[in-house]
Structure 1
Amino acid sequence: MNKKNFCYILLLISGTGFGSVFIANKYVAISGLPTTAYLFWFTFVGSALTLIPVLLSKKKYKFSFLSIVHFPAAASLGMLVPFGVVASIADKLPAGVLTLSFSLGPAFTFLLSFFFRMERFRYIKIFGIILGFIGVCFIVFPETSLPNPESAPWIIFALLAPIGAASNNIIVAKLKPPNVSPIFLTFYLLFSATIIMFVIMVINHGFIFFWDYGNLAILGVCWATIVQVIGFIIMYIIIPRVGPVFFSQIAYVMIFSGFIWAYIFFKETPSLWIIFAIIFMVFGLIFTNSSREKFFNF
């Protein structure tokens, strides 16, 4: 199996998991557990789980200043911003629609990659970005695209999620410490997120035990923990091998698996406008990730 096919398999696993975390967010929102406590606990449990192999390996790594900066930056932009945004509005939008917010991640990743000279300018990729934007318009503007038309502004807020995720893809590609195990990197990322969210949680709500909010909160935290640990380990495997733009294709899997998960658990069915949005976003993703050279490249 070649490197790219192996990475596609990992992308399928990770994307299916991340597509399901919107269901966990819904359960947590129903339970009443504050978003800050939710983020703290799944990062804390995740860092505790990844600490075990870190301690057993007894390996020591030397990190540069930029490598150290990478961990809180990646924790904030790659985890806390995207999942904080979607968790905070989990009860405002259908779970399937929320997954669509991440579909613009590849477009934002390409723009940032071009800005940092990691990708060349390509007209075909700009065309893909335009198609993705049209897809968002199909959700935001038609009154019949959402169960509640007043939910449309939350779609705009949800765009902070793919912007944060795209920024994280670039940070990992540029600042990731070399020759360090993905499990180690995931531990340090989760531990950084835990420290940040502990402070935010205590300031806003005091110290909260998630199990006090019932079985839905417990299920949501455990579910999100598993998804995050597996997903970020895979991220640290894929990006160094094939780059941030390739990894951003995880949005393909998240879109389709997200709607499948939403139908299985909540019987949510997409409107005709959402179907149009999916079509435009998928074609946008295809063009954005195209590697063909004959489309007037610079």
Structure 2
Amino acid sequence: MNVKADCLKGCVRMNVLLLLACGLLISLTYALGKLATQAGVEGIELLFWQISGSVLIVLPSAWWAGQLPKLQKDHMRYYTLAGLMGFTGPYLITYWVLNYIPSGLVGVVASLSPLLTFAIVLILFRGKANFSSGLGLVLGFAGVLAILLPKNSLPSPEMFIWVLLACASPLLLAIGNVYRTRAWPANGKPLQMAAGLLTSQWALLLPVYAVTQPVGLPTQALFTVMSIAVVSGFFYLISFELQRRTTPVFVGQLGYVIALCSLLIGILFFNETPSLWVWAGAALIAGGVYWVSNGKSVGGTA
């Protein structure tokens, strides 16, 4: 009995560590993206190298596991659309707004994705919200208002429009979440789907990068960009293991790990000083993610 209890505790600890690792890696991606854009790297260039690193890590892992991407029509359509909505689009928006707002704030806004996913399910598929999930949506919306509306919330009033634009990233990601759930190919495996998704986005970006970007990266940004590529690749591998070991409810807690890690990294490495309104907004959004993740809906879940 003690052996079983010890095994259970060990599994719980490992799951928590994986959750924290995923949140930290995403937050590091935003911070490194901030450094790269400050060094003059454009979003399309940064995203191309990020995807390249991810493909170099995930595709061999898929081959080793016997889960290479399939090239059937429904799979190819899924790779392309899910990649545009769930990876390329959100990251291009993120790298764009990182030129204008703190990286910690970007992380807080990004954590809205589970709330927006749930809201889309409610609106489009007539899902039903119970008290917990309804409360979560209200808290998340209040968190966004706490960041946007108070006069002294943001470092400067000019950031208002950029924070608003940053919200397009989790919105697009939420649309991608719903699409992935509805369009997941029959017998598709997570590692297989991710390898196909990343490879398709790399193939789409390659000609764009070749035509629009100079050959080679700025010397001062080389290490930063390569770090993003490695961090992104390992995030995917760890997130697959987290999804395999846990439930969607547990994975849903990732939102407030991202928010907290992003704020702390911004404070420690960029000397960012979030206002009390931003902290309050982050807390409300985190609470919203918690309640939505632990609530249920008919017709889909966040």
Cα distance in structure 2, aligned partners of 1:272 and 1:110: 28
Which residue pairs with 1:19 in the alignment?
27
- Asked whether the 8 Å contact 1:140–1:153 carries over to 2, the reply is no
Which residue pairs with 1:280 in the alignment?
284
Q: Which moved more, 1:62-71 or 1:271-280?
A: 62-71
Cα distance in structure 2, aligned partners of 1:57 and 1:103: 31
Local SS of the residue matching 2:158: helix
Q: Which moved more, 1:33-42 or 1:169-178?
A: 169-178
1:31 corresponds to which of 22, 30, 39: 39
- For residues 127-206 of structure 1, what are the structure 2 equivalents within 5 Å? 127-177=135-185, 182-203=190-211, 205-206=212-213
Which residue pairs with 2:270 in the alignment?
266
Report the TM-score when normalising by structure 2.
Answer: 0.83
Report the TM-score when normalising by structure 1.
Answer: 0.84
Q: Which moved more, 1:89-98 or 1:109-118?
A: 109-118
Q: Which moved more, 1:152-161 or 1:184-193?
A: 184-193
Q: Which moved more, 1:221-230 or 1:90-99?
A: 221-230
- Asked whether the 8 Å contact 1:109–1:248 carries over to 2, the reply is no
1:219 aligned onto 2:223: yes
Give the C-alpha shift of residue 40 in structure 1.
0.8
Q: Which runs of 5+ in 2 are unaligned?
A: 1-6, 298-302
Q: Structure 1 residues 118, 221: CA separation in 2 closer, same or farther (over 3 Å shift)?
A: farther
Cα distance in structure 2, aligned partners of 1:277 and 1:265: 21
Cα distance in structure 2, aligned partners of 1:150 and 1:14: 32
- Between the aligned residues of both structures, percent identity stands at 22
* Number of equivalences: 289
Q: Structure 1 residues 123, 129: CA separation in 2 closer, same or farther (over 3 Å shift)?
A: same
Q: Structure 1 residues 46, 195: CA separation in 2 closer, same or farther (over 3 Å shift)?
A: same
- Asked whether the 8 Å contact 1:31–1:214 carries over to 2, the reply is no
2:294 corresponds to which of 290, 293, 298: 290
Q: Which moved more, 1:40-49 or 1:240-249?
A: 240-249
Give the C-alpha shift of residue 18 in structure 1.
0.3
Give the C-alpha shift of residue 130 in structure 1.
1.9
Give the C-alpha shift of residue 65 in structure 1.
3.2
Q: Structure 1 residues 246, 123: CA separation in 2 closer, same or farther (over 3 Å shift)?
A: same
Cα distance in structure 1, aligned partners of 2:21 and 2:174: 19
Residue 266 of structure 2 aligns with an amino acid whose one-letter code is: A
Q: Which runs of 5+ in 1 are unaligned?
A: 294-298
Give the C-alpha shift of residue 34 in structure 1.
1.2
- Asked whether the 8 Å contact 2:20–2:257 carries over to 1, the reply is yes
Give the C-alpha shift of residue 107 in structure 1.
0.8
Cα distance in structure 2, aligned partners of 1:59 and 1:99: 32
Cα distance in structure 1, aligned partners of 2:166 and 2:55: 26
Which residue pairs with 1:296 in the alignment?
none
Q: Structure 1 residues 19, 61: CA separation in 2 closer, same or farther (over 3 Å shift)?
A: closer
- Asked whether the 8 Å contact 2:130–2:296 carries over to 1, the reply is no
- Asked whether the 8 Å contact 2:137–2:288 carries over to 1, the reply is yes
Local SS of the residue matching 1:209: coil
CA RMSD of aligned residues (A): 3.0
Give the C-alpha shift of residue 166 in structure 1.
1.7
Which residue pairs with 1:256 in the alignment?
260
Give the C-alpha shift of residue 218 in structure 1.
1.7
Residue 281 of structure 1 aligns with an amino acid whose one-letter code is: I
Q: Structure 1 residues 20, 277: CA separation in 2 closer, same or farther (over 3 Å shift)?
A: same
Give the C-alpha shift of residue 258 in structure 1.
0.6
Q: C-alpha offsets along residues 119-157 of structure 1, whole Å, 9 cap, x if unaligned?
A: 643243122112211111121122211111111111110
- Asked whether the 8 Å contact 1:26–1:87 carries over to 2, the reply is yes
